Amino acid sequence: MDEQYEPKPLSACDGNSHSDFEVIQDNSDSRQVNQDNMNLSEKLQLAKDELVLWQSKIDQLDKEKSDLICEKLDADERKKQALKLVSKLIAEQENLQNAFQKAEQSFKEKLFDKQAKAAKLKEQLLQYEYELQRKQDDINVLQTKFKIKAIMPKKNIKFTKLERSVPTDQEGEEFMKIECCYQILPKLSMDLQNGQAMITFEDEQVANTILKVPKHHINMDPGKIDVKVLPVKLDTARKFEVHVDISRKMVKVFQIPDSLPEEHMRDKLEISFSKPSLGGGEVENIDYNSTSGTALVTFVKKGIAQRVAAQKKYKIILTEATSCLVKVEPVRDYSLKKFQTFNGICKRTLLITDIKNVLEEEELQDKLEIHFQKPSNHGGEVESLKYVPKDQKLTVYFDEEMEVN
């Protein structure tokens, strides 16, 4: 203990005996011990309480530490998985990049090949177009010489004469159709150029005599011009007859709808074409084609087909509430007869060439006509003469006046 707390010795003069001092000292020590014991107990209790408090904090920290360790482990695992995923994505990116580069290279190679093939095909196309045009020109020449390529114009026909008449009930098989014959005559033409003229004489012999003169001297007053006279040779001509037989008992039907089964539709056609109220009559036979939507209707009596065909549209009853219109036409049979192909030479018409434009058109034409009318020039009566002036051309059409080579 510190010196200030040590007891001091008492002398006799203090007035107290030694025993009293001891008693007093004992009491004082006892109070001190009790006080120290009480303070120690409180301190111990405080220490225990503080220990408990710190123990709880330590436990809390241990728990937090454990949680952090677990979170760290989870984070490490996630990081590991993420690293694996990143590595996988990088590998896939590299693979895709490689594949893309290969595909791009392959596409470029294919594109180059396609462009080369396209250029080659374009060159072939140009060559084929040239060949096609050449072939087409050859075809046109051949068609002009040997084939018929013409569209028959629509004509209004008026019958002016009846050669024979027989009652309908007495008509035989020869009256089962209407026979028509069309004669197709050639229409030939020739182009006249500048410095040419076409002259036609009334007498064929005059034209033949003029051709024998090699050169003709035309008096222009003043001066003269020399011209040549040539025969007019025409292109290949064709002459033929078109025979058309129109049936009096059959009509052809078009635009038949496919809304009903084949047998059912055939029955509906027969019923509809048998109705006199619609212009029909008794039907002998129905030849129906469901694929093309057409039919061939044959009537029992002659004349019904003509009446039906004249309507052009015929009503077909499908049900009690529905119907439709179909197209009807007469049945025609075409044939080509008396086909002739020949080259023609005009008998009375000649071609004058090498005409110089020294006068006006009308005056020069008069000079030519005067020259070829004079018997002294081996000429004769001129039926017509046409001169083509400078910078012009003229198309001349001919009738049947020609010789066959």
Read off the pLDDT band of 18 (50, 70, 90): very low
Contact residues for 344 (Cβ-Cβ < 8 A; gap 6+): 186, 188, 233, 234, 237, 398, 402, 403, 404, 405
Domain of residue 60 covers 20-146
- Whether residue 205 sits in one domain with residue 81: no
- Whether residue 138 sits in one domain with residue 24: yes
Q: Which residue, among 212, 206, 309, has the nearest Cα to 252 in the 3D structure?
A: 309
- Whether residue 118 sits in one domain with residue 46: yes
- Whether residue 98 sits in one domain with residue 48: yes
- Whether residue 311 sits in one domain with residue 251: yes
- SS3 of 166, please? coil
Checking if the pLDDT of 327 tops 90, the result is yes
pTM exceeds 0.85 for this model = no
Tell whether 172 is covered by a domain.
no
- SS3 of 288, please? strand
Tell whether 178 is covered by a domain.
no
Q: Which residue, among 318, 227, 336, has the nearest Cα to 271 in the 3D structure?
A: 318
Span between the terminal Cα atoms of the chain, in Å: 171
Q: DSSP characters for 331-367?
A: EEEEEEEEEEEEEEEEEEEEEEE-----S-HHHHHHH
Tell whether 225 is covered by a domain.
yes
Range in 16-20, 124-128, 212-216 the model is least confident about: 16-20
Contact residues for 336 (Cβ-Cβ < 8 A; gap 6+): 148, 240, 241, 242, 243
Checking if the pLDDT of 319 tops 80, the result is yes
pLDDT tens digits, 334-389:
888 887 776 767 788 888 888 887 787 788 888 888 888 888 888 888 888 888 87
Identify each DSSP E strand in 3-42 by its residue range: none
Task: Look at residue 11 in the predicted model and tell me its pLDDT.
Answer: 42
- Domain boundary at 146, 175, 198, which? 146
Task: Look at residue 29 in the predicted model and tell me its pLDDT.
Answer: 57
User: How wide is the angle at C-alpha 125 spanned by C-alphas 121 and 128, nearest 5°?
Assistant: 135
User: Using CA atoms, how far apart are residues 104 and 28, in angstroms rounded to an integer?
Assistant: 108
User: Using CA atoms, how far apart are residues 372 and 216, in angstroms rounded to an integer?
Assistant: 9
Tell whether 153 is covered by a domain.
no
244, 356 in Cβ contact below 8 A? Answer: no
Q: Residue 387's CB: how many other CB atoms inside 10 A?
A: 24
Tell whether 73 is covered by a domain.
yes
- Domain boundary at 93, 112, 146, which? 146
Q: Which residue, among 380, 51, 334, 355, has the nearest Cα to 195 in the 3D structure?
A: 355
- Whether residue 212 sits in one domain with residue 81: no
Q: DSSP characters for 232-260?
A: EEEEEEEEEEEEEEEEEEEEEEE----SS
Residue 300 tokens read as: 């029992």
- Domain boundary at 337, 356, 372, which? 337
Task: Look at residue 403 in the predicted model and tell me its pLDDT.
Answer: 45
The amino acid sitting at 29 is D
**The domain spanning residue 298 has which CATH number?**
3.30.70.330
- Whether residue 381 sits in one domain with residue 246: no
Q: Which residue, among 218, 235, 236, 253, has the nearest Cα to 329 in the 3D structure?
A: 253
Average pLDDT of the segment spanning 378-402: 75
pLDDT tens digits, 279-292:
999 999 999 999 99
Tell whether 175 is covered by a domain.
no
Tell whether 181 is covered by a domain.
no
- Whether residue 360 sits in one domain with residue 231: yes
- Whether residue 289 sits in one domain with residue 231: no
- Whether residue 141 sits in one domain with residue 262: no
Tell whether 159 is covered by a domain.
no
Contact residues for 353 (Cβ-Cβ < 8 A; gap 6+): 195, 196, 227, 228, 229, 230
Read off the pLDDT band of 294 (50, 70, 90): very high
- Whether residue 229 sits in one domain with residue 358: yes
pLDDT tens digits, 233-275:
777 777 778 888 888 899 999 999 988 999 999 999 999 999 9
- Whether residue 134 sits in one domain with residue 52: yes
User: Which of the 8 DSSP states describes residue 287?
Assistant: E
Task: Look at residue 161 in the predicted model and tell me its pLDDT.
Answer: 59
Domain count of the fold of the chain: 3
